[in-house]
Amino acid sequence: MRKQIARAGSMPRGSQNWSFPAVFLLLVVCIASLTGEITPAAEESERFLQALRERGYLDLALDYIEQMRTSPLCPESFREVLDYEAGVLLIENSRLGGTLREKSLEQAKERLQQFIREKPTHSRVSEASFLLANVAVELAQLKKELAAQPGKTPEEKNKLLAEARQRFQEAQKAFETAERRAYERARTLEEEAKQNPRKEVERDDARRDLLRARLSLAGVIYEIGKLYPQSDPNYRAELNEAAKRFAELYEKYKDFTAGVYARLQEGRVRRDLGDPKAAIEIFKQVIALLQGVSGEERSVVNEAVHELIQSYILTKDFNSATALIDQWRDQVRPDEESSGEGLRVHLSAAQLFMAVAASQKPKTQEHTRAVARAREHLNFVTRFPGPLQREAGQLLSQQLFGGASDPSEPTDFATAKERGDTAWGSFVVFVGQLNAAPTPQERQKLQQQADQVRDEALRFYRLALAMRPNDLSPDEMNLLRFRMAYLYWSQQDYYRAAVLGEFLARNYPQNLLAKQAAEIAVKAYRILYAQSSAPREERDFETSRIEKLVTWMNSVWPKERETIEAYMMLLDTAVDNRDLAKAEAILGQIPEDSPRRAEAELRVGQGLWATFLLESSKESEVRPSAEQLAAYLQKARQLLEQGIGRMKSSFDESKPVEYTLAFSVLSLAGLLIENGQASDAVTWLEDPQIGSLVLVRKNDPAADRSNFRVETLKAALRAYVGTGQLEKAEGVMKELEVATSAGGDAAAAARLTQVYVGLARQLQESLRRLRQDNKLEEADRLMRGFELFLTQIKSRKEGNTFTSLNWVGETFYNLACSLEGGSPGEKAKSQEYYKNAADTYVGILRRIRESPDFAPANAATGIQLRLASCLSGLRKFEEAVKILLALLRQKETRIDVQVEAARTYQAWADAEGRAAFYTLAIVGGHEEKGRKLMWGWQGVARRVQPYPQYQSLFHEAWYNIALCRLNQAQRETEPKRSELLRQAELDIFRVYQLYPDLGGEATYARYDALLRRIQRLRGVRDAQGLQAFAQRGAPVGKSL
Amino acid sequence: MKLRQYGWKCILQSVFPLGLLLPFLASAPFAWADTVRTLSASITGKVVEATSQKVIVDRGQGRIEEINPHLVDMIFFDDEPSVLRTAKMAVAAGRYEEALTALEKVQLPENATSLVRQELEFYRSFCKARLALGTSDPQSLEQASEGLSQFINQYQNSFHYWSACELLGDLLTARGDYASASQFYGRLSKATWPELQMRGLVALGRTQLAQKKFSEAAKAFDDALQIQATGPAADRAKTAATLGKARCLAERDEPDQAIAMVQEVIKNTPVEEASLLAEAYNTLGVAHRKAGRTKEAILAFLHTDLLYFSVATQHIEALDNLVSLFAQVGQRQRAEEVAKTLRERYKREPSG
């Protein structure tokens, strides 16, 4: 009678790819923790641990083990095996699957290694060694499964396969150690058993361990071989070695079932070596050897039948396969048929008949018969839940069987769910294939297919829910909920995705999918926030949902990956809401060692920097204090440096730089430049690994994102000028020209001009800020640096283009503007810069006259406009007005000229206190041919009002109307003064009534500051600015 | 006398000596084979007296043995019907339903002795009481209380008197009638023998605990511990008193002291003492909970739920705590499962 090596029941999950040693793993796990002694002490540790395990409280069992480490109640014998027991539990825990699988296995490995290390002579070391080897196998399997997932790039796949190979090799070493140990033990016990029959049981155990180790070793070698491509010589080498070992094991142990199993394995290997005929003979032999067996040996028979069918399909021996299937069906018992191996036989049979059908002409009797038989086998498999059910369902949906799923509506829960599951399976596959789609057309096609099956899955799942039975287990219910939440997300129905995800997470937090469901919910709420058209301060619903959910997630799953992700969403929301105190508090919740910490720091740092820029540009009445602004800046710098430092420390030079990092370095450089620390900015820009300038010059992919290249070059230019490295600055100017002319088109010059204009304005802002923060030395240094640079450029004999000279003029102009309201010394400097700018523009105009190609068409108008601005700055208002009126005569509708004209008269009125000029600025003048040539601010506002793209200009106009009235009022006496002030307030109120947001935060703040001044001058004690409008309605004394 | 649940192992230990002795006794001049089982031994002979003050066994050849009644676990009378004997063995094994079914069918012959009649009455009431305590069903508790009270009134001199009083006290406590329970426990605390006094005081202390009168309870437990007594019964009572004291410490916000005390008890209590161990782990659970150590509290109560669930009152307490503790750590599904057990097995709603 064949001796059995007992198998432990149904195959563990994933065993179809690693069928053999995993069987033993289950056996080992079952017996491993039951062989301990019953403790005489009152703490019944083993019994309690077993009870926790049986109840499914694996997490608590692990907690218990940890508790026992320091508990005075722990029996010594149990204390010795704590790490071993923890290892066993963690292996069980990994069987629950999901994202915890790898982590649990790694932890199991650590624990078992620790046990072996610390207790080398303990009786369980042998078991622990086997377990350790099998953990390595499971980890290898995991990597193999990940590599097989759709959507992986070839590099990712190869990396995972290499990792799998490494793990299998670890397992190989571990099994070799186990084999050596078992061999020694068996040899010793052989001798002892001869003298003492009571040792026979131990001897048999040792023999079993030896066989187990050898079988496992052969299996691992087989697996290692399969990881190589078939064309790789290692593939054949490893498989040959595996076949040889299996053959030896069969020869030595043919009286044992395990020996016959080794023969079955040898058959598989032979087939994989391209010798299906040899494999067929082997499988037939196995079936014959196990003829008439019962019990667990039947599963070996069924495996052999399955393998034989597969081999017949390969050799196209359909007749033999059909005969085999018919014979099997006659003999198989019902319980066997629905076992894992039985279902596999049915699936193979279906595949066989599908191959038969493919070999026949369609619509022939043979074809129809083959299809019918295939369908019959597949329908059988679909009755039993599991991975094979899904596989069978997907095969049934093929065209061969009539195409898509049965069009009739399901009438019960099981059918509805099954169809939903089939659609879900297809959805997952299509989504996986999307990433690897080679062309946009292919991608579009896959997307359409994915959308279709997604909608189908949702429909069937909704139906299933409506028909669910009362005794449906919570786990099944929650799986449906999770999938639906994910499908809603894919459908962009974020509200439903959020509601369902949150429900699952909060009500079933210990469910395996709870964390992922919570992650879906919080991200969905975040998208709802981002998509909301309501003003930021009114997005309370989304903000509060995110906050509450994140707080709860932290209470249940502190420090878990999903909770950290949720905190990132909350942090983003806080930054968007400009609630930086909260953002900083949230940052504190993200652990220092979290992989997201760096990104979080950068986000908050950028938020603080943006806030600094916004707040510092506000009018003095509403601008925060210098200390507060300095605090923003300091904190922003600290966080940016910290975040960059973190990312840099884990930087892999072989990979491209992440855009987040590259952008953050640029932001930091910008901050430093603004803070007058140009040399620090240069250091960052030139960092050999992550410097933005270095990346741009290396043509790193990050440089192609958005406007990164141009912004980097602008920053570099400012930094070099700020540090007096003028040659480098000139070099960057050339690079800027190249960058903006990349398209080679005529608009390139205009782009470059825009860049320079933007650069000049940035400079103006920087200087204003530096002065505001009383950083006079830095401001001076910056100014002198630019002055020197600009002069150098201007006075070049060669190489100057319209664009470069225009930039010089523009920059001098902006420098002048920035110094206008300063000290007498600064005012004098301002005049000097206006003069330089004017000279430059005159020079440009001269060159245009000499050579019309020097500048783009119509560029002269813009230059003249700027010249007029310079003249206005130099208090030469009359000359300025002349130029402007001449331009208006050419084209009255030039808005920029109209605006400059109004501005000029306003400045003239301010300078000389002439009321008539205020009126001209406001209402326009210079009638010619019965119409006002100059519109004034009111005319400008009226004409641009209908056009959303001119909204900022509209507000600029009305702001200046109110400002004109205020300034005029200050020069008048009563009652004119009061009247003007009242009128000014009314102007703002009218605009507020039409546009309560007043064009956005920045203009709102300007209006607010202006209104407060007006209110104070009107004698309002508590000048509330625009808030007074919101509360009271019309200003006091509305009637005119 | 309070029956202890030694389980089948102890029954065998008591039966085998009997089995071995019987052939010897058969040839002895004395043919009578009453068996008096105590905590530590089995004594055969003729029970010549069995009252609330003493049990006297004539062992033949002039050997007379006197045993304190509260130390008697069970007496098997030679002349009792075999059905009654079988039922009593089922009681000893904790199979109360089976025992009661058999006892209800027992019909005594007209010449049955008063002792045998007492046995029948007592064990019928005893089984009903044990079953009522197991389900905590109010109606069953009430009926069992009446039955036992009737027995006590009718057989005040029975050697079962003390265990009947203690059991009635337990029933009344389960019904919330602490005042009446205290009266019956008080009878034990005033008995002649120190072990019985200890048991009475421990029971009184538990009643005080149930009413959250922790100071009074602590005093009762301390008084019990002050009593000088030796022997297995005294040891059990001391252990119970220590646990009671530990519970008082836990409830009075000295959890760490309570924990140390309970750990010492657990270390020294044999695994067969399910009732004491259940109480110990529940006390440990309460102490950890008071100290804010939720996970440790869960593990402690789970000991009772998973290992000592046969002790109904303790199991109920453990389940009740687990419902709220699981909910506290966000494990709602587990909380629901435990609540379901509480409802289905004990017809109780969680208190939290």
Write the pLDDT tens digit of every residue in A723-765: 888 888 888 988 888 888 766 665 666 777 777 777 777 887 8
- Cβ atoms A421, A412 nearer than 8 A: no
Give the count of alpha carbons within 13 A of A118, CB side only: 12
Q: B302 touching A, CB under 8 A?
A: yes
For residues A259 and A245, what is the distance between their CA atoms, to the nearest angstrom?
A: 11
**Residue A175 pLDDT class (50, 70, 90 cuts):** very high
Rounded Cα–Cα distance for residues A133 and A20 (Å): 13
pLDDT at residue number A863: 93
Q: Give yes or no for a contact between A264 and A303, defined as CB atoms under 8 angstroms apart.
A: yes
Confidence of residue A88 (pLDDT cuts 50, 70, 90): very high
DSSP A3: B
Q: In the predicted model, is pLDDT for residue A1021 greater than 50?
A: yes
C-alpha dist (Å) from residue A576 to A490, A532, A535, A998: 25, 12, 11, 20
Strands B72-76, B55-60: pairing kind: unpaired
Indicate the residue type of B169: G
Instruction: Note the pLDDT of residue A742.
Output: 65
Specify the pLDDT at position A955: 95
- CB A48 to CB B302 under 8 A? yes
Q: Residue B81 pairs with which residues in a beta bridge?
A: none
Rounded to 5 degrees, φ, ψ at B120 are -60, -50
At A925 the three-state DSSP class reads strand
pLDDT, one tens digit per residue, over A859-910 is: 899 999 999 999 999 999 999 999 999 999 998 889 999 999 999 999 999 9
Instruction: Name the one residue in this structure whose structure tokens are 């099981």.
Output: A414
Output the pTM of the full model: 0.52
User: Which of A99-103, A105-109, A359-363, A377-381 has the least mean pLDDT?
Assistant: A99-103
Q: B47 with B57: CB under 8 angstroms?
A: yes
Q: What average pLDDT does the segment A192-196 reach?
A: 89
Is the per-residue pLDDT at B4 higher than 80?
A: no
Complex ipTM, two decimals? 0.81
Chain A CB contacts of B270 under 8 Å are 42
Q: Are residues A263 and A250 in contact, defined by beta-carbon separation less than 8 angstroms?
A: yes
Query: Is a pLDDT exceeding 50 seen at residue A19?
Result: no
CA distance A102 to A86: 15
pLDDT level of residue A632 (50, 70, 90 thresholds) = confident
Residue A896: other Cβ atoms inside 10 A? 12
Interchain contact, A60 vs B269, CB within 8 Å: no
- At residue A27, the pLDDT reads 35
Q: Which of A378-392, A856-870, B75-89 has the lowest average pLDDT?
A: A378-392
C-alpha distances (whole Å) from A453 to each of A425, A668, A1022 are 9, 46, 64
Q: How far apart are the first and last CA of chain B?
A: 36
Q: Give A68 to chain B, closest Cα distance, Å.
A: 11
Of B263, B268, B299, the CB nearest to A64: B299
- Say if the Cβ atoms of A42 and B306 lie within 8 Å: no
Residues sharing a CB contact under 8 Å with residue B304, sequence separation 6 or more, in sequence order? B278, B281, B282, B285, B311, B314, B315, B317, B318
User: DSSP assignment of A626-667, as one string?
Assistant: HHHHHHHHHHHHHHHHHHHHHHHHT--TTSPPPHHHHHHHHH
Residues whose CB falls within 8 Å of the CB of residue A278, separated by 6 or more in sequence, listed in order = A267, A270, A271
Is B135 an interface residue toward A (CB < 8 Å)? no
Task: Please tell me the predicted confidence (pLDDT) of residue A33.
Answer: 39
Cα separation, B211 vs B204, in Å, equals: 11
Query: Cβ contact (<8 Å) for A510 and B330?
Result: yes
B271 touches chain A (CB under 8 A): yes
What would the 3-class secondary structure string for A227-257 be?
HCCCCCHHHHHHHHHHHHHHHHHHHHHCCEH
Q: What is the pLDDT of residue B54?
A: 92
Reading the block at residue A1002, the tokens are 């920045």
- Output phi, psi for A256, to 5 deg: -105, 150
For range A632-653, the mean pLDDT: 86
Residue B19 pLDDT:
32
pLDDT higher than threshold 60 for residue B11: no
Element containing residue A954 per DSSP (H, E): helix A951-969
Per the CB < 8 Å rule, is B266 touching A43? yes
Q: Is the pLDDT of residue B10 over 60?
A: no
Question: What's the pLDDT at A700?
Answer: 85
Question: Given this model, what pLDDT does residue A303 score?
Answer: 94
Task: Read off the pLDDT of residues B199-229 as tens digits, 9 standing for 90 and up.
Answer: 999 999 999 998 999 999 999 999 999 999 8
Q: Where are the alpha helices (H) located in A686-725, listed in sequence order?
A: 692-697, 708-722
Sequence length of chain B is: 352
Q: What CA–CA distances, in Å, run from A507 to A559, B132, B337?
A: 20, 36, 14
Say yes or no to pLDDT of B66 above 50: yes
Crossing angle between the packed helical segments A726-740 and A708-722, to the nearest 10 degrees: 160
Q: Which residue has the tokens 């004594």?
A: B43
pLDDT mean over A278-286:
95
Query: Which positions in chain A have a beta carbon within 8 angstroms of at least one beta carbon in chain B?
Result: 40-44, 47-48, 51-52, 55, 57, 60, 63-64, 67, 71-73, 474, 507-511, 555-556
According to the model, what pLDDT value does residue B28 have?
33
Chain A residues inside the 8 Å CB shell of B306: 48, 51-52, 55
Q: Would you state the pLDDT for residue B177?
A: 94
Nearest to A554 by CA among A541, A540, A569: A569
Q: What is the arithmetic mean of pLDDT over B258-273?
A: 91
Pairwise CA distance, residues A64 & A66, whole Å: 5
Tens digit of pLDDT for each residue in A667-687? Answer: 999 999 888 888 999 999 999
Predicted pLDDT of residue A1036: 47
pLDDT computed for residue B206 by the predictor: 92
| DSSP strand pairing (B34-38 vs B63-67) | unpaired
Please tell me the distance in Å from B71's CA to the nearest CA on chain A: 25
Residue A559 Rama label (left phi>0; alpha psi -120 to 50; beta): left
Alpha helices in B63-113 (DSSP H): 82-92, 96-105
Q: Please give the residue of chain A at the shortest CA–CA distance from B338.
A: A55
- In tens, the pLDDT along A800-831 reads 888 888 888 988 998 888 888 777 888 888 99
Q: Rounded CA gap, A649 and A491, in Å?
A: 39
pLDDT value, residue A236: 95
**Mean pLDDT of chain A, nearest integer:** 85
- Give the whole-angstrom CA distance, residue A205 versus residue A203: 5
Residue A23 is predicted with a pLDDT of 39
Look at residue B141 in the predicted model and tell me its pLDDT: 93
